Amino acid sequence: MANLQIPDALLVKNYVEGNESALSTLIKRHESKIYGFIYSKIADKDISNDIFQDTFIKVIKTLKSNSYNEEGKFLPWVMRISHNLIVDHYRKTKKMPMYRETEEFSIFSIMSDDTLTIENKMIVDQVEVDLKKLIEELPNDQKEVLVMRMYQDMSFKEISEVTGVSINTALGRMRYALMNIRKIIEKHQIILTN
Amino acid sequence: MAKIYSKKAAVTTNLKPNKEVVSFILSYSQALTVVKINEKSFEIIAN
């Protein structure tokens, strides 16, 4: 089937000429790219929504005042606006007080490095691999619930809908899954720690 | 407190803004008129 898509440039032109539905099409076409871009930098849904909204308010104002210079680059232009708003957001929220190092006060008393050392990172990865092996040992019904809950971040309500069992059954399976994993860990004296 | 060892799977869900946000943007666009007079622009928002 031929892909008949009105180009962005034409939609922008229609919008500037007063066709409001062109904006709706543009938003629908690019919302996930733009929102995804913002969310990748902000990692907070509410703030990302705010920035997405502010981005389009700027877009609308620019288009309505005929200040937009069409060069066939609508999406990069919108991304640029959202990028600038993200920078503004960080400027506003991450204003750090300045500390000066003195004899009594060392800058390292307030600074810390939270990143894991290479050794700790290897341990974490190893624990992850061990845990996956343990999960594989579980009966299928328990494994299914545990994976959905812990790895796919689904709620018990969603799990019960997907698996076709009641919420209580799903909760029970999760409980047995954890008990069984603990049993295997104790039995084989596996150490999961970092 | 229990320690969580599992990592979240890389989420590949299609991220989208709230419907309310999109609806606000569209209503804002309908309400806004920008008038330019002598190099000055005025924003008029209809209720």
Average pLDDT, chain A: 86
List CB contacts (< 8 A) between B27 and chain A. none
Residue B5 lies in a domain: no
Compare all CA atoms of chain A with the CA of B24 and give the residue at the minimum distance: A53
Structural domains of chain B, count: 1
Q: What is the pLDDT of residue A31?
A: 93
Mean pLDDT calculated for residue range A85-101: 75
Residue B14 lies in a domain: yes
For chains A and B, count residue pairs whose Cβ atoms are closer than 8 Å: 65
Distance CA A2, CA A15 (A): 25
Q: What is the pTM of this model?
A: 0.55
Do the chains contact at B34 and A65, CB–CB below 8 Å? yes
Smallest Cα distance from B5 to chain A, Å: 7
Residue B4 lies in a domain: no
For B41, the closest of A65, A131, A151 (CB atoms) is A65
Q: What is the pLDDT of residue A99?
A: 63
pLDDT at A128 over 90: no
Written as six digits, the tokens of B4 are 């969580």
- Tokens 């407190």, located at residue: B1
Q: What is the pLDDT of residue B31?
A: 93
Do the chains contact at A35 and B4, CB–CB below 8 Å? no
Do the chains contact at B17 and A31, CB–CB below 8 Å? yes
Q: What phi-psi label fits residue B9: left (phi over 0), alpha (psi between -120 and 50 degrees) or beta?
A: beta
Mean pLDDT calculated for residue range B10-33: 85
pLDDT tens by residue, A10-57: 999 999 999 999 999 999 999 999 999 898 888 889 999 999 999 999
Nearest residue to A70 (alpha-carbon basis) of A132, A141, A20, A15: A15
Residue B34 lies in a domain: yes
Q: What is the pLDDT of residue B30?
A: 93
Residue B28 lies in a domain: yes
List CB contacts (< 8 A) between A48 and chain B. 17
Q: Report B:26-45 residues touching A (Cβ under 8 A).
A: 26, 28-30, 32-34, 36, 41, 43
Q: What is the pLDDT of residue A1?
A: 45
What is each CA distance from A100 to A2, A34, A110, in whole angstroms?
Answer: 65, 40, 12
Residue B32 lies in a domain: yes
Q: What is the CA A99 to chain-centroid distance, rounded?
A: 33
Domain that holds residue B19: 10-47
Do the chains contact at A39 and B14, CB–CB below 8 Å? no
List CB contacts (< 8 A) between A128 and chain B. 5-7
Do the chains contact at B25 and A56, CB–CB below 8 Å? yes
List CB contacts (< 8 A) between A32 and chain B. 14-16
Residue B3 lies in a domain: no
Smallest Cα distance from B11 to chain A, Å: 8
pLDDT at A129 over 50: yes
pLDDT tens by residue, A68-80: 887 878 998 999 9
Residue B1 lies in a domain: no
**CA torsion angle A5 A7 A8 A13 (round to 10):** -120
Q: What is the pLDDT of residue B9?
A: 53
